[in-house]
Chains A and B, each alone.
Chain A
Amino acid sequence: SQQGEEDPQALSIQEGENATMNCSYKTSINNLQWYRQNSGRGLVHLILIRSNEREKHSGRLRVTLDTSKKSSSLLITASRAADTASYFCATVGSGNTGKLIFGQGTTLQVKP
């Protein structure tokens, strides 16, 4: 079974708006990562947040982590049409750091 559950499954917004995606997981983690996948392509690493961190920023991306709620969110500010893609969270468990387990992803469409 997959560790991460993402919400919403699909999101459609206008260019310039902010997009927020949420990820919940089941077991304790070492770190949580977010990836982007353009249609028909491989995944691209966006950001990694460790279990002892609460927030990280990278350009227009902001990731938060709440280990008490076993959840994370990815915020993309001032979205662009080029942000249209699927976004996945993935977790590395604290018990077995060899496994990176993915959620089912959120499909984001940014309309120009």
Chain B
Amino acid sequence: NAGVTQTPKFQVLKTGQSMTLQCAQDMNHEYMSWYRQDPGMGLRLIHYSVGAGITDQGEVPNGYNVSRSTTEDFPLRLLSAAPSQTSVYFCASSRRAPGDTIYFGEGSWLTVV
């Protein structure tokens, strides 16, 4: 049982490049979400999904796209990376909407230069 798996763990991008952060869970969880964590800012919700085919915006969605074509996967796309998107990104999942225990991935460190 791998839990929540994020890839890549580290990535350096140039301004304007695009990339996708991958997130997969093997627990058949309906709820998945993406957060970014900046120093002194705690975690801020980017996008979330309550099931396959359903996504919604969180606190800071601008500059990011998501899709949920399967229950297992919830990729986060940066269409045109900006230095302000330098951050640590966490994917999380729970059985249902977050009244259940949420499980976090180990994080993806992204630097945009």
Q: Which A residues are within 8 Å of any B CB, using their own CB?
A: 1-2, 4, 30-31, 33, 40-45, 48, 50, 88, 90, 92, 97-105
Contacts and interface: CB of A to CB of B under 8 A. Distances in A.
Contacts of A4: 42
Contacts of A50: 99
Given A99-B48, A100-B33, A43 B43 contact: yes
Interface of B: 4, 31, 33, 35, 40-45, 48, 50, 56, 58-59, 90, 92, 97-99, 101-107
A68 to B, nearest CB: 22
Contacts of B56: 98
B101 A101 contact: no
Nearest to B102: A45
Contact of B98 (A88, A97, A103): A97
12 contacts: A30-B99, A33-B98, A45-B101, A48-B99, A92-B99, A97-B98, A97-B99, A98-B31, A98-B48, A99-B45, A100-B102, A104-B40
